[in-house]
Amino acid sequence: MPSWNAILGSHEQSIKIFGARSRILAANLANADTPNYKARDLDFKQMLNSYKNVATGNTPLITSNARHMQPTGFVYGGQLKYRQPQQASLDGNTVEGQIEKSEFLENAMRYQTSIQFISGKFKSLLSAIKGE
């Protein structure tokens, strides 16, 4: 019997990354008027590759104690990037509202696409179980 990972592919991890990215982009938008706030973002491709490596055990974490456990779920650490502004602002804030809104909408569409794909997979599985 195939595993859920084989059935869903990378869409499960994609949804988690899109969710994390939407929270970061929302924080950027919320801090558009905060002096010296630096806009941040995630590199989706890097995050997905990192998740796949951790999930398959290809990238063990360095531990200082033999009893430390390796992560089994979704983790992201140093992959937050600071966005370089196209125009410098006087207050040191690097949030550009139009770019943030555009990135947020694109991220939401990709999230919805992954949800629809997973929904279609489950509908197919349900049809197969019912014998339809």
pLDDT for 50 equals: 73
The contacts of residue 81 (CB under 8 Å, 6+ apart) are 40, 41, 42, 43
pLDDT for 77 equals: 54
CB 38 within 8 A of CB 94: yes
pLDDT for 53 equals: 63
Number of other CB atoms surrounding residue 53 within 10 Å: 12
Burial group, residue 100, by CB count within 10 angstroms (0-12, 13-18, 19+): buried
CB 115 within 8 A of CB 15: yes
pLDDT for 63 equals: 67
User: Distance (Å, rounded) from C-alpha 101 to C-alpha 109?
Assistant: 12
Digit-by-digit pLDDT tens for the chain (132 residues) are 566 666 677 788 889 899 999 999 999 999 999 999 999 998 888 887 776 665 555 555 566 776 766 555 555 555 789 989 998 889 999 999 999 999 999 999 999 999 999 999 889 889 999 987
Query: How is residue 110 written in tokens?
Result: 């990709």
pLDDT for 56 equals: 58
Token pair 């002096």 in the structure block, residue: 35
pLDDT for 23 equals: 95
pTM for the model: 0.74
pLDDT for 96 equals: 95
